[in-house]
Structure 1
Amino acid sequence: MPETNADIDADSNADTERDEALRERAVETALARLDLDTKARLLAGQDMWSLPALPEIGLASLVMSDGPIGVRGVRWTADDPSVALPSPTALAAAWDPALARRAGRLLAQEARRKGVHVLLAPTVNLHRSPLGGRHFETYSEDPHLTGAIGTGYVRGVQDGGVGTTVKHFVANDAETDRFTVDNRIAPRPLRELYLAPFQAIVENARPWGIMTAYNQVNGVTMTEHRYLVNEVLRGEWGFDGFNVSDWMAARSTTGGIAGGLDVAMPGPRTVYGEALAAAVRAGEAEEADVDAAVRNVLRLAARVGALDGAPPAVTDPPAPLDGDALAREIARRGFVLVRNEGDALPLRPGTVALSGAAARDARVLGGGSAQVFPERVVSPLDGLTAALPDGTLSFSVGADPSDELAPAGAGFTLRAVCRDAAGTVLGEGTLPNGQVQWIGDDLPAGVTHDTLASVEVTGTFTPRESGEHSFGTRGLGAFTLTVAGRTLFDGVQAMGPETDPFEAFFGSPVERGRVALTAGETVEVSLLHTLDKEFAAPLPAVMFSFVHLGPRRDPDELIAEAALAARAADTAVVVVATTERVESEGFDRADLALPGRQDDLVRAVAAANPNTVVVVNSGSPVEMPWRDEVAAILLTWFPGQEGGAALADVLTGAEEPGGRLPTTWPAALADAPVTQVTPTDGELTYEEGLFIGYRAWDRAGAVPAYPFGHGLGYTTWSYDSLVVTPQDRGRATATVRLTNTGERTGREVVQIYLAPVEDPVERPARWLAGFASVEAAPGASVEVTVELPRRAFEIWDEDAHDWTLVGGAYEVLAAHSLADARLSAPLETT
């Protein structure tokens, strides 16, 4: 008889169980051969990104690298470029776990290419407040959507035999005082909101790692949180992976090991290693806890193929993916068209006036540890120039989102030359821009922190514009800045008594001088930085920047030029953006306003041309006070390296914008129900309880600019029928039939919400229970069934310390967005 799918599945399960047993046997054999000192050393990083190899047991060094939109590798350098995918908010906006899985597979492919075993991603904290500075690096305000996208991502990375570390466990939902803040969260919101995405990913994707956060939760720092790590994560959920601290988060040897922290990073100076072995010998820590941690690390090594005698979890990685093509697809699938009056998009035939500095100098990714260096970046100007007929596109700067000097970029060709105290060259490397950020052992070949005395950023600059160019520095220490043979600065930037030790990386640039230059004429440039050996940074690091700003022109003149060009064109396209000083790791936002004169630019262009399309290049919500004055608004998030090409696809109509909002966009910050991110006396109380995101908007009876789930396409849909069928164990299904009533093939995201008719307990007015996407040709009908899991009907019972099904009458809503329910059906649960 021919082999059936059931036979194949049974064989596959048997193979998996056999391999898992072999891995566990190899882990126990290796563990038994280690002494206490070696075990303790294994749990402390040997450097910034890796754990030590132990050849005596066949253990290779395990290498970790930052994500989540690319794989940087162990060196923060452009010498080894990385594919840069769109931001996590963009990925979530596609509402497609299968797409997230493909993204994960590509990142696993990149990780293998760079010799990386573990990707430090994904970030599945929630959008509690729109002011969260790292908002762009997380998925959504909704725990179900976050869990679904995160599950797809983790499965994809691990399909490729590379581990993940789902982070930051838990409640790292803002950046202010993130190292010390105590987030006070009641049990129900902690379980139903903040832990929920982690639980979904652990149960559905079996991640090989978790990263614990800097912050405290209810009085206990997360790297020592025995209850949440050992009892909930490992006990209730069955997590069997390794638990690594966020970098420099581990503070206590005994607290960490007793609290379930396996690995303290970075090394070699951590609270583990020699300190851990000494604590065991002194009777302050249990060797059984050390063994448990080592077992988790060895299990990870076995899974990624780094332990001899253990079959790796993946022997045949998925077929190779085209990184450029997938980056372009994710970008356009995540673009959210929130307004399209008079079918302004797709673009009509005719001339296009493009404006906005962000159209030329694209911001494709967020700041902080998420940064990678792509081999190429397609800006909106690049993409539209390639896509539109010759002579139909004009460009005006209009307004720049920043008037601050930024790391030298376009027009610069730079390298870094490293010398010792005697002036001997130790090594050198290329730079993608004027920013040097070498942390730990991330130094050019042949260079060490002990021998390094100075770094010279040197090369050439070919200006795009004639006029007076400004040059400067960012960082601490001695600098000599030379441009076109002129020394603009020779002095020391000292560290004040209140200066943050990361001021060199996050601090403000300082202008040192101006030079009149001619467009197209190349000049020599140099910034010599002498290290301050007396300055003790938290980590061995070299961080400074050679910064630049082009000729300053009168802002009103620039806006007037853009308006004049818009008046003469058939369509005006304005690109507005945030900057790294607005959205980045390490700080929260002060407001939601677009920086600079960008609002003025949009208003002026819209007044000149009623057919104005605004492209919003930000990772999280911004205020758009002009939103009713323009014809169309397209949100592109941080769209990755192919963002400009994807933008051209969508604007010209070659592709449909596929995104739906993963988070609510307020009209103004003052309207948002939850905004607080600043602790009081070290504590940040989540006093809103269960009500964040759209749950809070519903409770307040407020109307945002654009609701959760909103997004327009280039076709229309009718929702024809909804059939809700109860299943066993408190589950149900919702089957929706819909028809493409437009004139082109399109995609629709069917969203299913639950609304209790009469609620015996405090709950939101409605919540997302499931979703699915469909595609259909014009006039075609399609049917989709969405599973409604038991958990959608449950609450965390604080008295019983368990999940409880809440029976009764529910209204099941099939919706285009939270605010656009198309069909409803009753459901009775018991």
Structure 2
Amino acid sequence: MTISDNRRRLRTELTLAEKASLMSGANFWNTKRVDRLGVPSIMLTDGPHGLRKQGGAADHLGLHASIPATCFPPAATLANSWDPGLLTRVGEALGAEAAAEDVSVLLGPGLNLKRNPLAGRSFEYFSEDPLLSGTSAAAMIRGIQSRGVAACAKHFAVNSQETHRMTIDEIVDERALHETYLEGFRIALAEGDPWTVMSSYNKVNGTYANENVELLDRILRRTFGFDGLVVTDWGGNNDRIAGLIAGNALEMPSTDGVTDREIVAAVEAGTLDETVLDARVEELLALIARTARDDAPAPVDHDAHHELAIEAARRSIVLLDNPLDVLPLGPASGRVAVIGDFAARPRYQGAGSSLVNPTRVDSALDALRASDLDIAGFERGFARRDKPSRLLRRRALRLARRSDVVLLFLGLDESAEAEGVDRQHMRLARNQLVLAHQLIGLGVPVVVVLAGGAPVELPFADEAAAIVHSYLAGQGGGTAVADVLTGCVNPSGRLAETYPLVYADVPSSASFAQTQATSEHRESIYVGYRYFDKTETPVRYPFGHGLGYTRFRYEELEAGETSARVTLTNTGAREGEETVQLYVEAPDAAVGEIRAPRELRGFAKVALMPGETVTVEIPYAEHAFDVYDVDHGGWRTVGGTYGVLAGASSRDVRLRRELDVEGEAWTAPGKDRLPHYVDGRVEKVNDLEFGELLGRPLPSPRWPVGQPLTRDDIIAQTRGRGGFAGLLYRVIDLAYALLMALGRPHAANNTRFVLDLPFRSVARMSGGRVDDAMLDGLLLMVNGRFWRGVRQVLSAWRARRRSERVHSNN
């Protein structure tokens, strides 16, 4: 009997109740088992960049400790390597650690497009470009699944902000949806074949992603060919029956049987066809079979994985500036002052569901002290959270004055980047900026080493002697940073996102995370460098930028029908790596068209010895000369004379060749009524023009006023209502402020996360401690009927206790 025959046999022998039970978790991390038929439970757990398996109290926000595991650099860092081979090796290590702990599904990688620098989860995502995102994710997926562990591509789709993320309606036009937000997923599925996909919390154009038939059925399955299992994000179910029909199989975590009973009732009432349920059960059984292990997994070599974490960080660190060639440092550099709290206590990962308990952590300070440099001393320089300290600053300045060069470690602290909250601005902490200004004013060369998972404004950039960006470098980042600074490693990282001069330059800056009910993607296809290059807006560092300690010459670009070839020579005195980036320039550079002037359509990372020359062939991406035609519901090759560009960033083009492409004539529908989409000045788009682009009226961006709160509303909507509702909001807000004051930013951010929970999630994420009857009592309380609500909560609680006692006695 084949595996598929066995699955069909199991499905036919399962009762309706058993099939329904398989559609939700047994607890926080495990699926249910059916002992009668030998259907085992499997474990799903977090880990985009490291295994986060919890042995005790369970949560999905990093509140409780997990077992030690290797903390690799997060996706935002690894993307800077532009090295799919490296990501595959990291994926293999992640899969090996998951397999050793009997984990069947590793919940990652995340590959949502980076729409705005303030998105709180940017550190978990790869890039602002779908090709780089999708290629990177596919490489990691292949690595994870090579160890018999399912990867889970997430979050599908358009998860672009953390503010009100569980109910926010992402309003995006169809062309932007396909060309930007879905294209990375398409590539990851085509090249990586993940066995699971996680749906996102948010709505997309009015419908929750998890019950969106257009997204999960027509696009994900029928168009992209996905044949695996769709799992909710934790607590991400809204309407269980609608989710099943759309294509979601597994709801996590456990709902204590509530939604299982809903499924049984729907089948018995005829509102859910049992064949739909059978299809979802088949998907879960297939996943169980795919991840079954006959042999015990090999033990994990944590030392080897730590070395891989160091290598991954080395290859991802970006040298942003080095105008005076101060770097690399060596014995001839003189006395080196190390200043900045991050040197001793590194920021090496973000917070939330991806918070890994590392097996060890290397600090840059320890690694620098172990090098050949003459370290004059170390000073913290500033308080970790933005608290003024003249004493710390004076001590740092005193050390700098008796040194020949300063290594200044700056960055975003732990409270700035976390799941569940978006950043409030793009600035570094004020105490860090004051210190940087005063140190630079001394006249001693200052080398800035940055840490953080997303762009920041850098007002001191033109005055620094050099700037190195480690991003969030994982547990081996301290060693990697020291190796780059001292020249043991030639930096080869290249930015996977654009660094604006100031946040106001970002096209979505005026509206991002500012509304309550909707998030309007008025910039459409103009995300990241597509906008900045279209409008020729000055930037601090362009997409793809990065320097090294050698130089490369580009020659002899040939543009063929399916690929381009370019000859590259290392003209410097050191071995190094260059990332050759291939851009396709639209006919006439898209002047007068709703189209980006150039887009990344291929890349290759090449290692060369001094004086070595190599010819590199780079295939064009699948849709290199295409646009998504909304009228025809598919991709269209647009004919014309294109420019094929080879360069070191989107603005550092070294060679250009023309290529005539056969295709169809195309003009964006309604172009004459969309002037700001034609010239790219999408920050000027008004309601009328955005509605014209969408082809429908805009929904209200605000929550309804004066209406009772329902299960689908979020706890944040209690604000300003008075009575118990207002008290509930103030208690949560006060707890957040108190935890911040106590120096516990992770717990504080997770407390604030509660405000974005829909009331329905209070019951469904309580592990059975709160049922729907109690929830209805809570809603009575917040809607001004406090004592009636209290009585209902107590009555429901007593009824539940009686039921539990009867069940335990039986």
What is the one-letter code of the residue matched to 2:599? W
Q: Aligned ranges for residues 474-493 of structure 1 at < 5 Å?
A: none
Q: Which residue of 2 aligns with 1:203?
A: 190
Q: Aligned ranges for residues 509-520 of structure 1 at < 5 Å?
A: none
Instruction: Sort the Cα spacing of 1:32 and 1:321 in 2 relative to 1 into closer, same or farther, 3 A.
Output: farther
Tell me, yes or no, if structure 1 residue 396 matches structure 2 residue 379: yes
Tell me, yes or no, if structure 1 residue 750 matches structure 2 residue 580: yes
| 3-state SS of paired residue (1:628) | coil
**Take 1:270 and 1:192, find their aligned partners in 2: how far apart are those partners?**
40
Q: Which moved more, 1:320-329 or 1:252-261?
A: 320-329
Q: Which residue of 2 aligns with 1:494?
A: none
Asked if 2 retains the 8 angstrom alpha-carbon contact of 1:793 and 1:805, the reply is: yes
Q: Which residue of 2 aligns with 1:140?
A: 127
Q: CA deviation at 1:249?
A: 0.8
**Take 1:609 and 1:583, find their aligned partners in 2: how far apart are those partners?**
33
What is the one-letter code of the residue matched to 1:108? G
Q: Aligned ranges for residues 394-543 of structure 1 at < 5 Å?
A: 394-403=377-386
Asked if 2 retains the 8 angstrom alpha-carbon contact of 1:160 and 1:318, the reply is: no
What is the one-letter code of the residue matched to 2:627? I
| 3-state SS of paired residue (2:82) | coil
Deviations 1:621-666 (A, max 9, x none): 1111111111100111111111111111111110111200000011
Q: CA deviation at 1:79?
A: 6.7
Q: Which residue of 2 aligns with 1:470?
A: none
Q: Which moved more, 1:169-178 or 1:605-614?
A: 605-614
**Take 2:516 and 2:491, find their aligned partners in 1: how far apart are those partners?**
45
Asked if 2 retains the 8 angstrom alpha-carbon contact of 1:92 and 1:139, the reply is: yes
What is the one-letter code of the residue matched to 1:366? G
Deviations 1:696-741 (A, max 9, x none): 1122220110000000011000002111111xxxxx2111101000
Q: Which residue of 2 aligns with 1:324?
A: 306
Instruction: Sort the Cα spacing of 1:163 and 1:355 in 2 relative to 1 into closer, same or farther, 3 A.
Output: same
Q: CA deviation at 1:683?
A: 1.3
Relative to its length, the structure with more strand (as a share) is 1
Q: Aligned ranges for residues 65-464 of structure 1 at < 5 Å?
A: 65-75=45-55, 80-269=67-256, 272-305=259-292, 322-349=304-331, 350-388=334-372, 392-403=375-386
**Take 1:568 and 1:591, find their aligned partners in 2: how far apart are those partners?**
35
Deviations 1:31-69 (A, max 9, x none): 122111001101110000010122333322110110111
Q: Which residue of 2 aligns with 1:740?
A: 570
Tell me, yes or no, if structure 1 residue 661 matches structure 2 residue 495: yes
Deviations 1:484-523 (A, max 9, x none): xxxxxxxxxxxxxxxxxxxxxxxxxxxxxxxxxxxxxxxx
Tell me, yes or no, if structure 1 residue 567 matches structure 2 residue 567: no
Q: CA deviation at 1:790?
A: 3.7
Deviations 1:578-625 (A, max 9, x none): 122211111111101112400111122222243211000111111111
**Take 2:15 and 2:625, find their aligned partners in 1: how far apart are those partners?**
50
Instruction: Sort the Cα spacing of 1:121 and 1:271 in 2 relative to 1 into closer, same or farther, 3 A.
Output: farther
**Take 2:243 and 2:422, find their aligned partners in 1: how far apart are those partners?**
28
| 3-state SS of paired residue (1:770) | strand
What is the one-letter code of the residue matched to 2:384? P
Greater relative contact order (Cα 8 A, min sep 6): structure 1 or 2?
1
| 3-state SS of paired residue (1:334) | coil
| 3-state SS of paired residue (2:230) | strand
**Take 1:128 and 1:271, find their aligned partners in 2: how far apart are those partners?**
36
Tell me, yes or no, if structure 1 residue 828 matches structure 2 residue 660: yes
| Length-normalised TM-score, structure 1 | 0.76
**Take 1:280 and 1:345, find their aligned partners in 2: how far apart are those partners?**
68
Q: CA deviation at 1:80?
A: 2.3
**Take 1:272 and 1:634, find their aligned partners in 2: how far apart are those partners?**
51
Q: Which residue of 1 aligns with 2:21?
A: 41
- 1:709 aligned to 505, 529, 544, which one? 544
Q: Unaligned 5+ residue runs, structure 1?
A: 1-20, 405-553, 727-731
**Take 1:155 and 1:764, find their aligned partners in 2: how far apart are those partners?**
31
Instruction: Sort the Cα spacing of 1:38 and 1:379 in 2 relative to 1 into closer, same or farther, 3 A.
Output: same
Q: What is the aligned-residue identity percentage? A: 38
Asked if 2 retains the 8 angstrom alpha-carbon contact of 1:183 and 1:216, the reply is: yes
Q: CA deviation at 1:320?
A: 9.4
| 3-state SS of paired residue (1:358) | helix
Tell me the number of residue pairs that the alignment of Structure 1 and Structure 2 aligns: 650
Instruction: Sort the Cα spacing of 1:654 and 1:170 in 2 relative to 1 into closer, same or farther, 3 A.
Output: same
**Take 1:386 and 1:367, find their aligned partners in 2: how far apart are those partners?**
30
Q: Which moved more, 1:345-354 or 1:701-710?
A: 345-354
Asked if 1 retains the 8 angstrom alpha-carbon contact of 2:386 and 2:431, the reply is: no
- 1:784 aligned to 601, 616, 631, which one? 616
Asked if 1 retains the 8 angstrom alpha-carbon contact of 2:52 and 2:66, the reply is: no
**Take 1:64 and 1:589, find their aligned partners in 2: how far apart are those partners?**
29
Q: CA deviation at 1:681?
A: 5.0
Q: Which residue of 2 aligns with 1:650?
A: 484
**Take 1:79 and 1:129, find their aligned partners in 2: how far apart are those partners?**
31
Instruction: Sort the Cα spacing of 1:22 and 1:388 in 2 relative to 1 into closer, same or farther, 3 A.
Output: farther
| 3-state SS of paired residue (1:124) | coil
| 3-state SS of paired residue (2:98) | helix
What is the one-letter code of the residue matched to 2:214? Y
| 3-state SS of paired residue (2:619) | strand
What is the one-letter code of the residue matched to 1:128? R
- 2:5 aligned to 10, 14, 25, which one? 25
Instruction: Sort the Cα spacing of 1:392 and 1:678 in 2 relative to 1 into closer, same or farther, 3 A.
Output: closer
**Take 1:613 and 1:327, find their aligned partners in 2: how far apart are those partners?**
24
Give the 4+ runs in structure 1 shifted more than 6 A.
Answer: 314-321
Instruction: Sort the Cα spacing of 1:393 and 1:30 in 2 relative to 1 into closer, same or farther, 3 A.
Output: farther
**Take 1:642 and 1:725, find their aligned partners in 2: how far apart are those partners?**
42
Q: CA deviation at 1:360?
A: 1.4
| 3-state SS of paired residue (1:621) | coil
Q: Which residue of 2 aligns with 1:819?
A: 651
**Take 2:66 and 2:350, find their aligned partners in 1: how far apart are those partners?**
20
| 3-state SS of paired residue (1:139) | coil
| Length-normalised TM-score, structure 2 | 0.78
Instruction: Sort the Cα spacing of 1:757 and 1:611 in 2 relative to 1 into closer, same or farther, 3 A.
Output: same
**Take 2:628 and 2:258, find their aligned partners in 1: how far apart are those partners?**
36
**RMSD in angstroms over aligned alpha carbons?**
2.0
Deviations 1:259-314 (A, max 9, x none): 211011100436632221122112121111111111111111111116xxxx89x9
Q: Unaligned 5+ residue runs, structure 2?
A: 59-63, 663-810
**Take 1:609 and 1:277, find their aligned partners in 2: how far apart are those partners?**
74
Asked if 1 retains the 8 angstrom alpha-carbon contact of 2:21 and 2:257, the reply is: no
Asked if 2 retains the 8 angstrom alpha-carbon contact of 1:253 and 1:271, the reply is: no
Q: Which residue of 2 aligns with 1:510?
A: none
What is the one-letter code of the residue matched to 2:534? R
**Take 1:718 and 1:686, find their aligned partners in 2: how far apart are those partners?**
40
Q: Aligned ranges for residues 572-587 of structure 1 at < 5 Å?
A: 572-587=406-421
Asked if 2 retains the 8 angstrom alpha-carbon contact of 1:400 and 1:596, the reply is: no
Asked if 2 retains the 8 angstrom alpha-carbon contact of 1:724 and 1:735, the reply is: yes
Q: Which residue of 2 aligns with 1:673?
A: 507
What is the one-letter code of the residue matched to 1:745? E
Q: CA deviation at 1:357?
A: 1.2
Asked if 2 retains the 8 angstrom alpha-carbon contact of 1:280 and 1:286, the reply is: yes
**Take 1:121 and 1:167, find their aligned partners in 2: how far apart are those partners?**
6
Q: CA deviation at 1:82?
A: 0.9
| 3-state SS of paired residue (1:585) | coil
Q: Which residue of 2 aligns with 1:410?
A: none
**Take 2:401 and 2:36, find their aligned partners in 1: how far apart are those partners?**
74
